[in-house]
Amino acid sequence: MGAPTRIAIILGLGAAAAGAGIWATGATWEDITHMGQPRNVLEIEGQEIRVPQAQTTGERLSPAVAVSTTGEHSFLFTEDEEPTRYDPCMELAWVHNPAGMPDGAEGLVASAVADIETYTGLAFSYEGEVDEVAHFDRALIQEEYGDRFAPIIIGWSDEESTPDLAGSTAGLGGSSSVTGAYGDQRFLAAGVVILDTEDLGELLGESNGSERAESIIRHELAHVVGLGHVEDSTELMHAENMAAAAWGPGDRQGLAIAGAGPCQ
């Protein structure tokens, strides 16, 4: 049997609120409508960078998914007893670095993303292949991606380059918790998925290995949209899942809630 889906979670915390004078830095209409409210900033390599403004109409891009099941689920971040989630009124841009992708994995990543999209009601937008190496120390704002938080990145590695993939760990996933441009409401941003080339390659060599490999990718993407591990071994989000290849009732409930967050 192939490598179990025992997944470590590595996540970074994002921007803390801080003031920035709108006239000194160049006012925008969004700044003017938030007159008297300080613009949040990130500190990147010793420099303060203003948190990007949300490019949104304030309306969901896809219909919310109704919660129709109940079961064990958890969230990685909470704020005032509410889970921290992606903004459902903005596209979740994602990119893929295929370097190291094993034979037989073609199409599995896109299929897993589409599955997460279905169960969360979040709108994902594929922006193509990139050379950026997937790791958890990535800058949340990068020049090559423009004036916004970096897109979700999915990439491949091994335990030599990514020590947390040692042993039975077949993948890693998570997102950063950040504030929007204004206020203290927190959102998820700049998600990362790192998949173990060797473990998934071995799995793909087995019968029904493609289904199991995709379940690993879906597990990691569920971490990206905010879900944590559970103790119920029948759920796909069980920390050491050895059997489940389909979402359990708790998984589906958690994913629907993860997609029902507030808009900025």
CATH number assigned to the domain comprising residue 97: 3.40.390.10
User: Which domain does 75 fall in, by range?
Assistant: 5-14+55-258
Contact predicate 239/252, CB 8 Å: no
In a domain, residue 26? The reply is no
On whether residue 38 sits in a domain, the answer given is no
Tokens representing residue 104 in the block:
């037989």
User: Averaged over 108-135, what is the pLDDT?
Assistant: 97
Query: Does 40 score more than 80 pLDDT?
Result: no
Residue 41 lies in a domain: no
The number of distinct structural domains making up the chain is 1
pLDDT at residue 94 tops 90 = yes
**3-class secondary structure, 52:** coil
91 domain residue, yes or no: yes
Is the confidence at residue 5, as pLDDT, over 50?
A: no
The reply to whether 159 falls in a domain is yes
Question: Average pLDDT of 190-214?
Answer: 93
Whether 22 is covered by a domain: the verdict is no
Instruction: Check residues 189 and 8 and name the one with the higher pLDDT.
Output: 189
- pLDDT confidence bin for 32, thresholds 50/70/90: low
Q: How long a stretch of residues is the chain?
A: 264
43 located within any domain: no
